[in-house]
């Protein structure tokens, strides 16, 4: 095996975001671009010599080629072992599980999550630490520092073995083990959930539709839902991963997961609907003609998690991202457990989970998970819902309605303004931040402001401080507006506006969501002057 050292120089713009480095696929395919970033991962985390890594991706365009490059680089950098998903396929939750189960030194996951794929789509690379979770800021900062001073990278010159076949081969002295991507993940799910109860549910005529959106969860859902649990054949749709996700946008929300939405709103709708995203870490949940918002889903899962074997004891706590609705806070209060509010980004849950301070966690952006791994997990959420429905006996619509009658309803929506010129987005946020000190006590669109700040998070475990995580404006009636710029896009900036209004247990829970939120929507416009800064009268995506 021949190795070579290639002279290079820094490439601008390789600073990892909340979920690694995401760019257009064409950018990653530029000579040296991927190589520079991967070498910086190795160098920024103490070198690869003697280490073991998990490696896989969501199957999007360039996934297989990138896997080959990374294997050759890991070997040239002296890695001892690589655990690679067959065909280069690993869902993000499955990769996290492998890192933890086999005690590896981390993993490299190739995905841009819910972003579109294909030759003209997006690509991403992120490093997960030895706990199985996304690299904390100290590691991403170290990786970024290496990207600004890199002078060379190492790579094997020769071809590698076949990653399409389960088995082992070597590249130099590096052992490459190609594993079934589903086996270990399925075994973990069997440990967490009552598979017998779920089998009995399906045997009794329960029907579901799971939309894999031509993405990575297809093989997992087919094996587990239709295979092990006995859901009828065809319950999993769009099950074959595609390099361009079938030409679609693998974001599990009612806008993009149209096929399962139409099925669940049809005359012969199944009992339960769900979808997952590009790399399998997000989920969408539906009942018949009823979308369950991610915020409500987190609250309901927390309330009924005890029906699943793994969570039958008292939950240690629950955590949500700051923009996520406060519905789960009410459940945590009644259960007598702490509820933590963190910045957006799954890595912020890691310390809480590692410290045993939280058992369940979730984000409004369709991510829910638990301490079983250190990533959000789309199929896990589906299985927990199925376990709850199998043990409780009510259908999902009735369960949700009863929950609102008991806890009240947090009407909630997110309005996304995509691909805004970065300078315009920054001007909007700067102008809003400048107003914050004067806002408490003022009235906007008939709502009186009780508090306004730019969210900062003091980690209760390591005492690290993370600032400027989004503007929060709270009103005296419990309504809330949150505005922040997203770090998951690849062009311009995405402004996310989160809107929340609480109606107590005796109020009207049957209103149209956008109608219920109308005063809050108007307040957001008046405060941030969104139309003025973006030139848009409506959001691009409303969920």
Task: With beta carbons less than 8 A apart as the criterion, state whether 210 and 202 touch.
Answer: no
Same domain, 361 and 477: no
Same domain, 481 and 386: no
DSSP symbol at 357: S
Measured between alpha carbons, how far is residue 49 from residues 8, 37, 43, 78, 151 in Å? 21, 17, 10, 4, 19
d(CA 460, CA 470): 19
Same domain, 297 and 335: yes
d(CA 357, CA 221): 30
Last residue within a domain, chosen from 180, 200, 233: 180
462-480 in b/e form (b: 16+ CB < 10 A) is eeeeeeebbbbbbbeeebb
d(CA 241, CA 246): 8
Q: What is the pLDDT along the chain (543 residues), one digit of tens a residue?
A: 799 999 999 999 999 987 899 999 999 999 999 999 999 999 999 999 999 999 999 999 999 999 999 999 999 999 999 999 999 999 999 999 999 999 999 999 999 999 999 999 999 999 999 999 999 889 999 999 999 999 999 999 988 999 999 999 999 999 999 999 999 999 999 999 999 999 999 999 999 999 999 999 999 999 999 999 999 999 999 999 999 999 999 999 998 999 999 999 999 999 999 999 999 999 999 999 999 999 999 999 999 999 999 999 889 999 999 999 999 999 999 999 999 999 998 889 999 999 999 999 999 989 999 999 999 999 999 999 999 999 999 999 999 999 999 999 999 999 999 989 999 999 999 999 999 999 999 999 999 999 999 999 999 999 999 999 999 999 999 999 999 998 555 568 999 999 999 999 999 999 999 999 999 999 999 999 999 999 998 998 888
Same domain, 157 and 44: yes
Q: Of 169, 185, 188, 165, nearest to 177 (Cα)?
A: 169
Same domain, 498 and 360: no
Measured between alpha carbons, how far is residue 107 from residues 7, 33, 73 in Å? 25, 19, 14
d(CA 157, CA 161): 13
Count of all residues that appear for the chain in the document = 543
d(CA 351, CA 374): 10
CATH number of the domain bearing residue 506: 3.30.310.50
d(CA 463, CA 351): 11
Q: How many CB atoms lie within 10 A of CB 515?
A: 9
Measured in degrees and rounded to the nearest 5, phi and psi for residue 344 equal -65, 140
Same domain, 374 and 397: yes
Last residue within a domain, chosen from 373, 390, 407: 407
Helices (H), 162-222: 183-192, 195-203, 217-221
d(CA 124, CA 116): 11
The pLDDT score that the predictor gives to residue 487 is: 59
pTM of the model: 0.94
Q: Degrees (nearest 5) of the Cα angle 419, 108, 251? A: 35
Last residue within a domain, chosen from 180, 213, 248: 180
The pLDDT score that the predictor gives to residue 137 is: 86
d(CA 408, CA 507): 7
Q: Degrees (nearest 5) of the Cα angle 118, 141, 498? A: 60
Same domain, 393 and 425: no
Q: What SS3 state is found at 19?
A: coil
Same domain, 122 and 219: no
d(CA 170, CA 165): 14
Q: Which domain holds residue 36?
A: 3-180
DSSP symbol at 257: -
The pLDDT score that the predictor gives to residue 241 is: 95
CATH number of the domain bearing residue 26: 3.40.120.10
The pLDDT score that the predictor gives to residue 488 is: 54
d(CA 444, CA 464): 35
* 287: β partners: 290
Same domain, 513 and 377: no
The total number of structural domains that make up the chain? 3
The pLDDT score that the predictor gives to residue 541 is: 85
First and final C-alpha spacing in the chain: 52
Same domain, 193 and 251: yes
Q: Reduce the secondary structure of 380-434 to three states and give it as a string.
A: HHHHHHHHHHHHHCCCHHHHHHHHHHHHCEEEEEEEEEEEECHHHHHHHHHHHHH
Q: Would you please indicate which residues are annotated as catalytic (active-site) residues?
A: 113
d(CA 80, CA 95): 18
Same domain, 376 and 421: no
Task: With beta carbons less than 8 A apart as the criterion, state whether 214 and 238 touch.
Answer: yes
d(CA 315, CA 303): 10
Task: With beta carbons less than 8 A apart as the criterion, state whether 150 and 43 touch.
Answer: yes
Same domain, 57 and 26: yes
């Amino acid at each position: 095996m021949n190795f070579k050292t290639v002279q290079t120089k820094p490439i601008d713009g390789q600073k990892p975001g909340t979920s690694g480095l995401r760019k257009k696929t064409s950018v990653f395919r530029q000579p040296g671009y991927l190589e520079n970033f991967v070498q910086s991962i190795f160098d920024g985390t103490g070198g690869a010599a003697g280490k073991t890594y998990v490696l896989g991706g969501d199957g999007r365009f360039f996934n297989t080629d990138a896997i080959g490059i990374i294997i050759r680089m890991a070997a040239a950098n002296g890695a001892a072992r690589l655990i690679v998903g067959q065909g280069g396929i690993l869902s993000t939750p499955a990769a996290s599980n492998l890192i933890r189960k086999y005690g590896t030194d981390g993993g490299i996951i190739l995905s841009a999550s819910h972003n579109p794929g294909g030759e003209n789509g997006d690509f991403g690379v992120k490093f997960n630490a030895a706990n199985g979770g996304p690299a904390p800021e100290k590691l991403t900062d170290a990786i970024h520092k290496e990207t600004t001073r890199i002078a060379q990278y190492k790579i094997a010159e020769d071809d590698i073995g076949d990653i399409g076949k389960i088995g082992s081969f070597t590249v130099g002295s590096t052992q490459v083990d190609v594993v079934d991507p589903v086996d270990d993940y399925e075994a973990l799910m069997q440990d967490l959930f009552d598979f017998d109860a779920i089998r009995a549910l399906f045997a009794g005529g329960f029907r579901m539709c799971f939309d894999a959106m031509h993405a990575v969860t297809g093989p997992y859902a087919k094996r587990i839902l239709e295979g092990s649990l006995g859901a009828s054949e065809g319950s999993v749709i769009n099950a074959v991963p595609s390099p361009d996700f079938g030409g679609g946008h693998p974001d599990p929300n009612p806008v993009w997961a149209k096929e399962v939405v139409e099925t669940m709103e049809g005359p012969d709708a199944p009992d339960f609907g769900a979808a997952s995203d590009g790399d399998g870490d997000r989920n969408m949940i539906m009942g018949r003609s009823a979308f369950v918002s991610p915020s409500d889903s987190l609250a309901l899962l927390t309330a009924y998690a005890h029906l699943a074997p793994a969570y039958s004891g008292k939950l240690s706590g629950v955590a949500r991202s700051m923009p996520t609705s406060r519905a789960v806070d009410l459940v945590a209060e009644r259960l007598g457990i702490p509820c933590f509010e963190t910045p957006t980004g799954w890595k912020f849950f890691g310390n809480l989970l590692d410290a045993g301070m939280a058992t369940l966690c979730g984000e409004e952006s369709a991510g829910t998970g638990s301490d079983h791994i250190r990533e959000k997990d789309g199929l896990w959420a589906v299985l927990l819902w199925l376990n709850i429905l199998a043990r409780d006996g009510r259908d999902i619509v009735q369960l949700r309605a009863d929950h609102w009658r008991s806890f009240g309803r947090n009407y909630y929506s997110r309005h996304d303004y995509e691909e805004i010129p970065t300078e315009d987005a920054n001007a909007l946020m700067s102008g809003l931040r400048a107003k914050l000190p004067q806002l408490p006590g003022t009235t906007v669109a008939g709502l009186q402001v009780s508090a306004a700040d730019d969210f900062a998070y003091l980690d209760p475990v390591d005492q690290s401080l993370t600032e400027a995580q989004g503007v929060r404006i709270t009103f005296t009636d419990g309504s809330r507006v949150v505005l922040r710029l997203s770090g998951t896009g690849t062009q311009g900036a995405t402004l996310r506006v989160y809107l929340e209004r609480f109606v107590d247990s005796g109020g009207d829970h049957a209103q149209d969501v956008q109608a219920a939120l109308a005063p809050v929507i108007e307040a957001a416009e008046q405060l941030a002057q969104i139309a003025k800064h973006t030139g848009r009268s409506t959001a691009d995506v409303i969920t």
